[in-house]
Chain A
Amino acid sequence: MSDIAPPPPPLIHARGLTKRFGEFTAVDGIDFDVAPGESFGFLGPNGAGKTSTMRMVACVSPVTSGTLRILDLEPNADGARIRGQLGVVPQQDTLDTELSVKDNLVIYGRYFGLSRKEAARRGDELLEFAQLTERANDKVEPLSGGMKRRLTIARALINEPSILLLDEPTTGLDPQARHLLWERLYRLKQRGVTLVLTTHYMDEAEQLCDRLVVMDKARIVAEGSPRTLIEQYSTREVTELRFPVGVQETLDGQLDGVGDRIEYLPDRVLVYSDDGEAAAAAAHDRGLQPETVLVRRSSLEDVFLRLTGRSLVD
């Protein structure tokens, strides 16, 4: 990045952004900025406030309090204008199952004020992009989950949006479909489309996000690039030690000081350190004999679980 040119103003600017439903606070005063061309992620367990935040950014859910500016406009006042510049891929498919694949795109184009001809032209182009050209005249219902997802993304692009909002875009898809979607999203990013997504797949966040925030209980608990978050909240490597049944309970502090941090899970012990092999050797030197030893690089998942805890959220 240049030191001279001032950074471009953010496309999305939130300060103290809050959403309440009656007594319940879904989003509790969060701050974030998304720069043009950036791809920005919201990570967090279910109920952390990701979707509520996305709905406010999509200008379909009124802001309760705080500041939110999108494209330098106010959602509560200029929602429809902002929505004209957004592409939205909702968590739950909202395709019109009574229309054909192609008509789903065309009518959507009409909503953005396109002529029928232009909507049809862009529709054809997007079908190509989504690899659905052969299915153009089919009904939506029999399409596979991956195809429906691709069609939803294609539909979100009909207005050539400057910001694409994706709420858990690949949940429920098989690996092939996920990789195809990632590749398509990456190409959009290369064209300068700003991506904002929520996910609870850590590999997805590492693949797609330049920068992300981790949300928990309606607040932002960490912010940074995937790499800096790993550096800040985890160590370079993780050594996973699995002991024979019953042995782990008798360790009684024998591993203390082996790595930077030790976490005891019901079925294994995680040792966080910058040199996983050394940690494994150190454990061995202390006479411990784990059944299996796995040394791996630290991932966003470690950051996520450290920040949001391991207890199940329903």
Chain B
Amino acid sequence: MAVAQTSLGAGPPIAPLTGDRVPRQSSVRNALAAYEHQFLLYRRTWRGSIFGSFAQPVLFLVAMGIGLGGFVDQSGSGAIDVPYIEFLAPALLVSTVMQGSSFEATFPVLGGFHWNRRYHAMYATPLSPYAIAFGQIAWIATRATMVGAIFCAVIVAFGAAGSPAIVFAIPVGTLTALAFAGPIAAYMTTQHDTTAFNSIWRFGITPLFLFSGTFFPIEQLPEQIRWIAWLLPLWHGVDLARALSLGTVGDAPLVQLAHVVILTTMSVVGVYAMFVMYRRQLAK
């Protein structure tokens, strides 16, 4: 058998460092290294991913904005005082970002713990469970921002932006993404297969997508159940993005402030829970 001669086989003896001489590695660097891993992964799939990020808003804006929107505007109900597509666009941006982020908080998390066991490999190094969780959630936020920015560009290209304030929908999308991805990722750490994923989608994400005021104002719902919107996390993002981009924040400033507070609280609590769960599941 041919034996390759490298310095590893014939190198100098390795003297172990012990006690105080063992170096410490900065937690910030560790967290950034975990984040960097995601970029290496993305390098393989970015073309398809960017294409998808363009295609989805184009399809939705054509079908819902131009097709359905034209129909709504012609009927002239007067329920909204802007063209339907301008009403729809910021809300659709937030809803789309929310869906993508929820997805990124399920499969990659299951994979990291159980399929390719990426997290276990990372934990065998100086990385802490917190650094590993940070890498994942920071990437989800990055993707959310990318998807939101591309969506925004498509909205502008369609002439569907009511004003330049449409760009505010991007950070609202990212905040909404964190409000969903944190709790979902925390929950997925306890799962071993995709059963829960299917339930989350069927009974969570899809109904939210349909009933959070994305396609029609929440006022269309019967008065008795309208308060439910406050319990729907997506509605807070949708209503906030819409108010910002249509310039109607002044109509109900306290409601808009409440949206920010609720989404931020969900994000902080969810991401905190995610960090705790990553530690519990890795350091057993």
Contacts and interface: CB of A to CB of B under 8 A. Distances in A.
A71 interface: yes
Contacts of B7: 125
Contacts of B284: 21, 61
Interface string A247-279: 000000000000000000000000000000000
Contacts of A187: 8-9
B118 interface: yes
A60 B283 contact: yes
Contact of A162 (B12, B16, B118, B283): B16
A61 B281 CA distance: 10
Contacts of A72: 18-19
Interface in B85-125: 116-118, 120-125
Contacts of B157: none
A58 B14 contact: no
A231 interface: no
A92 B120 CA distance: 10
Contact of B37 (A88, A95, A107, A160): A107
A129 B8 contact: yes
Interface stretch (B28-36, B160-168, B205-213): B28-36
A94 B14 CA distance: 26
Contacts of A86: 124
Nearest to B11: A191
A231 B41 CA distance: 53
Contacts of A183: 1, 3
Interface string B57-99: 0000000000000000000000000000000000000000000
Nearest to A157: B8
B14 A192 contact: yes
Task: Choose among B1, B4, B23 the residue with the greatest number of A CB atoms under 10 Å from its CB.
Answer: B4
Contacts of B37: 96, 107, 110
A111 B116 CA distance: 18
Contacts of A160: 14
Contact of B125 (A83, A90, A95): A83
Interface in B131-178: none
Given A71-B22, A94-B121, A107-B40, A61 B6 contact: no
A255 to B, nearest CB: 45
B55 to A, nearest CB: 23
Contact of B22 (A81, A92, A113): A81
Contacts of B125: 83-84, 108, 111-112, 159
B16 A83 contact: no
Nearest to B118: A96
Contacts of B36: 107, 110
B52 interface: no
A191 B1 CA distance: 21
B8 A61 contact: no
A98 B17 contact: no
Interface in A146-198: 155, 157, 159-160, 162-163, 179-180, 183, 187-188, 191-194
B126 interface: yes
A126 interface: yes
B116 A96 contact: yes
Given A60-B282, A113-B25, A192 B15 contact: yes
B281 to A, nearest CB: 11
B47 interface: no
B17 A111 contact: no
B265 to A, nearest CB: 31
A94 B24 CA distance: 25
Given A71-B19, A187-B9, A191-B11, A83 B124 contact: yes
Interface string B161-203: 0000000000000000000000000000000000000000000
B250 interface: no
A98 B8 CA distance: 27
Contact of B122 (A21, A82, A111): A111
B127 interface: yes
Nearest to B4: A128
A129 B33 contact: no
Interface string A121-151: 0000110110100000000000000000000
A162 B17 contact: yes
Nearest to B16: A162
B40 A85 contact: no
Contacts of A96: 37, 41, 116, 118, 121
19 contacts: A11-B18, A58-B124, A61-B284, A78-B22, A80-B127, A84-B23, A94-B118, A95-B116, A98-B116, A106-B40, A108-B121, A108-B125, A110-B37, A111-B33, A157-B8, A179-B1, A180-B1, A187-B9, A191-B8
Interface of B: 1, 3-4, 6-9, 11-19, 22-25, 29-30, 33-34, 36-37, 40-41, 44, 116-118, 120-128, 282-284
Nearest 6 interchain pairs by C-beta: A162-B16, A94-B121, A111-B125, A72-B19, A192-B13, A88-B124
Interface of A: 9, 11, 21, 36, 58, 60-62, 71-73, 78, 80-86, 88, 90, 92-99, 103, 106-108, 110-113, 125-126, 128-129, 131, 155, 157, 159-160, 162-163, 179-180, 183, 187-188, 191-194
Given A9-B18, A99-B41, 16 more contacts: A73-B22, A80-B128, A84-B25, A84-B126, A85-B16, A94-B116, A94-B121, A95-B116, A96-B37, A96-B121, A99-B40, A107-B33, A112-B126, A113-B33, A113-B126, A131-B4
